[in-house]
Amino acid sequence: MSFTKGRLAEQLACQYLIAKGYCILAQNFSCRFGEIDIIALYDHVLHFIEVKSRKDTDPVYAITPSKLEKIKKSIGVYLQQSQVDYDFCIDAITLKGTPPHCQIEWIENITL
Spatial separation of the C-alpha atoms in residues 101 and 31, rounded to whole Å: 32
Instruction: Using the predicted structure, report yes or no on whether residue 68 has a pLDDT greater than 80.
Output: yes
Element (H, E) at 36: strand 34-42
Q: What is the mean pLDDT of residues 41-50?
A: 97
pLDDT tens digits for 73-109? Answer: 999 999 999 999 899 999 999 999 887 788 999 999 9
Q: Which fold has domain 3-107?
A: Trna Endonuclease; Chain: A, domain 1 (3.40.1350)
Higher pLDDT, 112 or 111: 111
- Where along the chain do its domains lie? 3-107
CB neighbour class for 104 (10 Å; exposed up to 12, middle 13-18, buried from 19): middle
The pTM for the full model equals: 0.91
1 has a pLDDT exceeding 60: no
CA distance 88 to 6: 24
Phi, psi of 9 (to 5 degrees): -60, -40
